[in-house]
Amino acid sequence: MQAIWDIEHHQILPTSRLMVDLGLAMLVVAAAYFLSPLVLRKWITDKDGHPLPPGPPIRYAFLRKYAELALHDWQQKYGPIFSIWMGSQLFVVISDPHVARDLLVTNGSVFSTRKRYFMKNQVILNGRAITASPYGDKWRQHRRLATQVLTPKAMQGFANIMDYESHILVKSLYELGHKGEVPVNPAHYAGRFALNNMLIISFGMRTDTSEDPLVEKALDLAMEFMDLTGPWSNAVDFFEPLQWIPTSKRSRGIKLHDGLIDVYGSMIQRFERRMKSGEYVPDCLVKTLLESQEEEKLDWEDLCMLSAVFTLGGVHSASRFILVRMKATTSGIIQWFLALIPSHQHIAEKAYEELDRVIGRERWPTAADEPNLPYIRAIIKEVQRVHAPFWFATPHCTSQDFSYKGTFIPKDSVVLLNCYSLHHNEERYPNSFSFLPERYLGDDLGCGESAKLANVMERDHWTFGAGRRICPGLPAAERELWLAISRLLWAFKFEALPNEPISLEEYEGLSGRTPLPYRLRLVPRHNNLAGILQAADEVKMTW
């Protein structure tokens, strides 16, 4: 039998040599491809010779789990704006507030479209809805329709619902914890609080149990969506030849697309039957879409994907529960708050003092009390800064070539807002790795108002993004966070378990992030809590 190595003559046989030569050639081609940025950074310039923003000298197929740490290291090495190749896609990373304002706000017309991620935008969402639409007329139409139910005025119509859901959140944790005697994992209840608020706004309904078939279906879709998407998740998004090859992941994406149409389509049909029968249906997104379908020329897939993305878009799981991106923000922040506060008892004590002095113990806080509780407001802002549920805002994309301060940003570059580095900017946030709510005392603006400040160094944080693509659900998320966290502080003392340390460094999730599962004791602060909680019982709203 012919061997690869001829022992007698000490040489490689011809057939084997061909295989070796082919392997070496492939190795050289791969090396040249992954090292090509060394040359491309010198060759790719604008008409005035300005180069690309500096960055690593190689291409990457993926980034490690905690990608924000890699980007923070590169920011410290390459500066406030740098570039990185992910496969064939050039990313430009913004890590400075002034650069973020100049590019995403002042020049928003150039930096407000979206990259057509193959898996998320083309396969799963088929170019529909706000998150997958390129910047243009279709995006403006979809955003206008969606934001009709998210304006501050519209939020007033949902005020009682949000108040009720925060009541049920506190009551559920109180009952689960048996008055502080039994440790609780708050993830499920924070998730259901956020989900129900979103379902009310989207479909005019809520669920009273995680056993609801709707929740189970939505959970499956959300988990699959999270597994298949994210700015660094899929090599197929960065290596175009992979898009021509049938793969199991692509089949999963097609199946998820069909699942979204099926589940949310059936929910829309049920809602429509109620409307046509003359039954009262509350104002919500689906009602708006159905009433304007003909005038806005929305096809069936538009309806399904708009409602799905509004409820699930940018979803991530929160310890086995689903959230929309803005609701993931809400639930994630509640979970991070509850993870942080047991190890910061001096902050809790200051909050208790303010609550007892301003509110007393005969009632609990309402939305109207927010201006009079600046320290509670500061705690919420600081949680959003220190533990933003998304370290990377949804990526933008350039619609044309652009030159900025001696660097060249080509058309179709993906532009990423690096919230981790922005939130750890020592000039803006001294001692940035510490949890210090006091830094926000005197800041009386909401997140939306703060994002419009002329002096960008006075902006509170970047959790909701920037520019024309800033999160449209910001008013709803702010109100929910206020009601939930202010009432949790009014109701409970928070005690960690001696043998179960809560990790504040590690987390779950790919694009979104929540703490690793943990338990704590929620001990009632006073005897009036039980009486207040008895004022509302949980109900299910039909759909």
CA atoms within 13 A on the CB side of 519: 12
Q: Quick one: which H or E segment has residue 522?
A: strand 520-524
What angle do the packed helices 137-147 and 300-312 form, to 10 degrees? Answer: 60
For tokens 């599962």, name the residue: 517
Helices (H), 396-497: 419-423, 447-450, 474-491
Distance CA(483)–CA(472), nearest Å, equals 19
For residue 188, which phi and psi values (nearest 5 degrees)? -60, -45
Q: Is 262 helix (H, G, I), strand (E, B) or coil?
A: helix
- Residues in the annotated binding site for heme: 471
Distance CA(359)–CA(361), nearest Å, equals 7
Using alpha carbons only, give the angle 309, 166, 189 rounded to the nearest 5 degrees.
Answer: 70
Asked if residue 114 lies in contact with residue 134, where contact means CB atoms within 8 angstroms, the answer is yes
- AA identity, residue 314: G
- Residues in the annotated binding site: 471
Q: Which of 128, 133, 143, 145 has its CA nearest to residue 293?
A: 145
Q: Is 375 helix (H, G, I), strand (E, B) or coil?
A: helix
